[in-house]
Amino acid sequence: MFEYAPAPESRSVVDLKPSYGLFIDGAFVDPTDGDSFKSINPASEEVLAEIAEAGASDVERAVRAARKAYDKVWGPMPGRDRAKYLYRIARLIQERSRELAVLESLDNGKPIRESRDVDLPLVAAHFFYYAGWADKLEHAGFGGNPRPIGVAAQVIPWNFPLLMLAWKIAPALAAGNTVVLKPAETTSLTALLFAEICQQADLPPGVVNIVTGAGDTGRALVEHPGVDKVAFTGSTDVGRAIARSVAGTRKKLTLELGGKAANIVFDDAPIDQAVEGIVNGIFFNQGHVCCAGSRLLVQENVADRVLESLKRRMAQLRVGDPLDKNTDVGAINSAAQLERIRELSDAGSAEGAERWSPPCELPDRGFWFAPTIFTGVTQAHRIAREEIFGPVLSVLTFRTPAEAVEKANNTPYGLSAGIWTDKGSRILWMADRLRAGVVWANTFNKFDPTSPFGGYKESGYGREGGRHGLEAYLNV
Amino acid sequence: MSERVAVRKTYKLFIGGKFPRSESGRSYLVQSSNVSLASRKDARDAVVAARAAVKGWAGATAYNRGQILYRAAEMLEGRRAQFVALGVPGDEVDAAVDRWVWYAGWADKLAQVYGGANPVAGPYFNISAPEPTGVIAVVAPERPALLGLVSVIAPAIVTGNTVVVAASPSEPLAAVTLAEVLATSDLPGGVVNILTGAITETVPALAAHMDVNAIDLTGVIDTALATDLEVKAAENLKRVLRPASADHDWFADPGLARMTALLETKTVWHPKGV
């Protein structure tokens, strides 16, 4: 491995406050019962800030503020003016993208190269895209007078904090809804900086409200009777609980949940490109990706070649300081997630799969897990069935396209899939048969605001992105 | 000459293209006929038949599905008098035929209206297309027994789903007669399966069934039952269509919502290059 001098991104661009309140009705306020929790840097375990924990009464205040803004300001506002606020927000995100990217890497642990080059450009693009829809809804194919739903409760995960916020808030606001959003408890900071951006944009108070906290806060929010729409991205178990909690109400629900994607490599695939795709599929964002290609299905006659090449490539991955611009793989987001990854990896070894990681020095402090692959995995192994949500790849083999389809679909999930082959007709044949909402052929982990994203089966329902993403926020 | 003695019909279930009695051997007296009282086992058998039919039906060309559905409308029109004799008003039969024809035409059009190319910011081919969700459990509205039934079955199957339908418990004869229409329309066995009897018996089994992908609660009137079914459906994250409002106008333009609610969107990416 080449020696690289450290190339750290400066933290000075971020102005962290010691503590943050809740963002309700356009202002930062203290929580009613004064509870708080700490947000830490997962790469160093350093405390970054004290975050207010919203209780039921705070959620109540936020929902009331959102309702008032919906009734009085945002609902009646012409789409053309809503668009202009969203364009303002998109521009402010671009202008402050360095600050947001550094803060995202500090709070989440993801490499700065990724927050800078992937997350932030996509966040701004998402607001731009939906800004343009705000004054064109009657032309979106949902009938001549599509109406917003009302107040949206939105709960997002910690893997792409600001990007998931954008996926939730941009279409909701474009369609004329107001929102109360709860970020994940380990990654609240960029959502709170986004709240400042809303202030800077002079967004009317109450249109966006941000309540920080953990599971109890999220539950209070989605179960609040004043909410008309619930949108959740996170684990399938929590998604199930939310689906139960909205039963019998008039709340509309969209869910983007877990995945266990197959990344399928045929013997005619260009091996080097496929290996890049495999690495991107599972080690991008430390594998904290719901659509990660966590099951490699490789055709038996090229399995040895692919694995040899994959191991050589993995040995080049740089694991370490998220703020170093050379870093490929950053920190695991939390101690709890690290524990889950360890537990499932240990189960992989215990159940008889063979574990391999490149030689790799991990920092002493913080939460780290070396890129890992398991070979000799069967479909019955836990590491082939359960979402690990970490940099751990399970390798299985197949002989025929039909067997690849069978194995790829043999999961309750259905979020994404990858196909690597030089044969066009085989790509289309496979794509037709894979039960997954996104199919990447000869590429992986590509996202775009115009491209609908979401799952089949137990990966959830509804789509985010594109014209389809509007539907989740309109009464159609 | 004595008057001719009529041959009466036995009203049975419709599962996998066949007309079995309930495996439980039970029936109930309704509309002056003994109608099969379906059991939970019948519901599970119907799911097996519906699942087996998915591959062929979802894999058929859209043109072929449209042809078969149009054929069903022809058969329905031909049995107009029979439905009227069962007490279905003539204008309802007409509306049901027209509705079926309307949906039949969507088979090869919806993918263009509801999907398409996405202009992504990069050198990629990117296209989104709707696909069927799979096996759908449907609670048909209590009435109008024929128009309501047609209005929930046609939008589900035209896109390639297969259905297990709980017919109106109080007016099931139109449903069994519709099954006879479908059985003579080239519709593959198992695409539509119809259960008669108590929805409190069959539908909870369907709502909890792990091989059912979506549930349409349109005909559920009891709100406590609807909530219970939605809770059961959450176990494998079934797509849920909630009950229709009591004043729903079944004669009005239905729009696309019933079709799109039972579809998945698949997006395929491929790089462009030389």
Decide if A54 contacts A181 (C-beta within 8 A).
Answer: no
Beta strands A372-375 and A354-356 are: antiparallel
Task: Give the other-Cβ count within 10 Å of B41's Cβ.
Answer: 13
- Record: contact A439-B271, CB cut-off 8 A: no
Looking at the complex, does the CB of residue A387 fall below 8 Å from at least one CB of chain B? no
User: Which residues in chain B are closer than 8 Å to A417, comparing Cβ atoms?
Assistant: none
What the block records as the tokens of A360 is 């790799």
Indicate the residue of A240, A436, A440 with minimum beta-carbon distance to B234.
Answer: A240
Task: Identify residue A297 by its one-letter amino acid code.
Answer: L
Looking at the complex, does the CB of residue A33 fall below 8 Å from at least one CB of chain B? no
Looking at the complex, does the CB of residue A293 fall below 8 Å from at least one CB of chain B? no
Query: Which run of H or E residues covers position A234?
Result: none
User: Which residues in chain A are closer than 8 Å to B260, comparing Cβ atoms?
Assistant: 471
Asked if A220 and A281 sit in the same domain, the reply is no
Indicate the residue of B124, B230, B234 with minimum beta-carbon distance to A446.
Answer: B124
Nearest-Cα distance to chain A for B268, in Å, is 5
Residue in chain B nearest A472 by alpha carbon = B261
User: Which residues in chain A are closer than 8 Å to B128, comparing Cβ atoms?
Assistant: 451-452, 466, 468
Query: Which residues fall within 8 angstroms of residue A274, CB to CB, at 6 or more apart?
Result: A265, A306, A420
Indicate the residue of B119, B270, B271 with minimum beta-carbon distance to A450.
Answer: B119
- pLDDT category at B5 given cuts 50, 70, 90 is very high
Q: Tell me how far apart the alpha carbons of residues A341 and A362 are, in angstroms, rounded to a whole number.
A: 16
Query: Which residues fall within 8 angstroms of residue A279, CB to CB, at 6 or more apart?
Result: A310, A313, A314, A317
User: Which residues in chain B are closer than 8 Å to A460, comparing Cβ atoms?
Assistant: 237
Looking at the complex, does the CB of residue A228 fall below 8 Å from at least one CB of chain B? no
- pLDDT category at A33 given cuts 50, 70, 90 is confident
User: Which domain does A308 fall in, by range?
Assistant: 262-441
What the block records as the tokens of B66 is 């449209």
Asked if A30 and A67 sit in the same domain, the reply is yes
| pLDDT single digits (tens) A97-132 | 999 999 999 999 999 999 999 999 999 999 999 999
Asked if A403 and A419 sit in the same domain, the reply is yes
pLDDT, residue B1, reads 65
- C-alpha to C-alpha distances, A135 to A84, A451, B27, B173, nearest whole angstrom: 10, 20, 57, 50
Instruction: Decide if the complex's ipTM is over 0.85.
Output: yes
Residue in chain B nearest A273 by alpha carbon = B271
- C-alpha to C-alpha distances, A26 to A61, A63, A90, B204, nearest whole angstrom: 12, 13, 18, 46
| pLDDT single digits (tens) B134-190 | 999 999 999 999 999 999 999 999 999 999 999 999 999 999 999 999 999 999 999
| pLDDT single digits (tens) A192-235 | 999 999 999 999 999 999 999 999 999 999 999 999 999 999 99
- Record: contact A458-B237, CB cut-off 8 A: yes
Q: Tell me how far apart the alpha carbons of residues A285 and A265 are, in angstroms, rounded to a whole number.
A: 22
* pLDDT, mean of residues B45-74: 98
Between residues 198 and 217 of chain A, which touch chain B (CB distance below 8 Å)? none
Is residue A8 pLDDT above 70, yes or no? Answer: yes
- C-alpha to C-alpha distances, A164 to A10, A331, A387, nearest whole angstrom: 25, 19, 19
Asked if A294 and A389 sit in the same domain, the reply is yes
What are the helix (H) ranges across A135-222? 161-174, 189-200, 215-222
* pLDDT, mean of residues A461-465: 98
Q: Tell me how far apart the alpha carbons of residues A280 and A374 are, in angstroms, rounded to a whole number.
A: 17
Sole residue written with tokens 């349109």: B218
Asked if A267 and A224 sit in the same domain, the reply is no
What the block records as the tokens of A294 is 């966590």
* In a domain? residue A67: yes
Nearest-Cα distance to chain A for B233, in Å, is 8
Asked if A201 and A157 sit in the same domain, the reply is yes
Q: Tell me how far apart the alpha carbons of residues B207 and B216 are, in angstroms, rounded to a whole number.
A: 10
Q: Tell me how far apart the alpha carbons of residues B243 and B240 are, in angstroms, rounded to a whole number.
A: 9
Asked if A322 and A384 sit in the same domain, the reply is yes
Q: What is the mean pLDDT of chain A?
A: 97
Decide if A323 contacts A46 (C-beta within 8 A).
Answer: no
What global pTM score does this model have? 0.97
CATH number of residue A198's parent domain:
3.40.605.10
Decide if A302 contacts A397 (C-beta within 8 A).
Answer: no
Asked if A191 and A283 sit in the same domain, the reply is no
Cis amide bond preceding A171, omega within 30: no
Decide if A378 contacts A384 (C-beta within 8 A).
Answer: yes
Count of CB pairs separated by less than 8 Å, A with B: 104
Asked if A193 and A338 sit in the same domain, the reply is no
Q: What is the mean pLDDT of chain B?
A: 97
Indicate the residue of B118, B260, B271 with minimum beta-carbon distance to A466.
Answer: B118
Helix/strand/coil for A153: strand
Task: Give the other-Cβ count within 10 Å of A400's Cβ.
Answer: 10
* In a domain? residue A301: yes
Decide if B15 contacts B176 (C-beta within 8 A).
Answer: no
Nearest-Cα distance to chain A for B264, in Å, is 7
The DSSP annotation for B140-152 comes to --SSSTTHHHHHH
pLDDT, residue A82, reads 98
CATH number of residue A376's parent domain:
3.40.309.10
- pLDDT category at A277 given cuts 50, 70, 90 is very high
* pLDDT, mean of residues A278-303: 98
pLDDT, residue B55, reads 97
* In a domain? residue A449: no
Asked if A273 and A156 sit in the same domain, the reply is no
Is residue A38 pLDDT above 80, yes or no? Answer: yes
pLDDT, residue A1, reads 61
What the block records as the tokens of B137 is 């459990």
* Active-site annotation holder among A53, A256, A458, A464: A256
Is residue A476 pLDDT above 90, yes or no? Answer: no
Task: Give the other-Cβ count within 10 Å of B121's Cβ.
Answer: 13
- Record: contact B234-A247, CB cut-off 8 A: yes
User: Which residues in chain A are closer than 8 Å to B240, comparing Cβ atoms?
Assistant: 243
Q: Counting Cβ atoms within 10 Å, is residue B189 exposed (0-12), middle (13-18) or buried (19+)?
A: middle
* In a domain? residue A446: no
pLDDT, residue A34, reads 83
Asked if A321 and A433 sit in the same domain, the reply is yes
Nearest-Cα distance to chain A for B142, in Å, is 20
Task: Categorise residue A372: left if φ over 0, alpha if ψ from -120 to 50, beta otherwise.
Answer: beta
Is residue A158 pLDDT above 90, yes or no? Answer: yes
What the block records as the tokens of B200 is 């409190």
Residue in chain B nearest A255 by alpha carbon = B237
> Is CATH 3.40.605.10 what the domain over B27-271 is classified as, yes or no?
yes
Instruction: Please give the tally of structural domains in chain A.
Output: 2
- Record: contact A452-B233, CB cut-off 8 A: no
Query: Which run of H or E residues covers position A79?
Result: helix A79-95
- Record: contact A244-B234, CB cut-off 8 A: yes
pLDDT, residue A288, reads 97
| pLDDT single digits (tens) A383-413 | 999 999 999 999 999 999 999 999 999 999 9
- Residue A276 designated active-site: no
Q: Tell me how far apart the alpha carbons of residues B231 and B238 are, in angstroms, rounded to a whole number.
A: 10
| pLDDT single digits (tens) B181-237 | 999 999 999 999 999 999 999 999 999 999 999 999 999 999 999 999 999 999 999
Helix/strand/coil for B36: strand
Nearest-Cα distance to chain B for A357, in Å, is 30
Task: Give the other-Cβ count within 10 Å of A46's Cβ.
Answer: 11
Half-sphere exposure of B100 (CA within 13 A, CB side): 27
Q: Tell me how far apart the alpha carbons of residues A201 and A127 are, in angstroms, rounded to a whole number.
A: 13
Each domain of chain B, given as residue ranges in start order, spans: 27-271
Order of strands across the sheet that contains A392-398: A354-356, A372-375, A392-398, A295-299, A262-265, A416-420, A438-441, B263-271, B124-132, B116-117
| pLDDT single digits (tens) A325-347 | 999 999 999 999 999 999 999 99
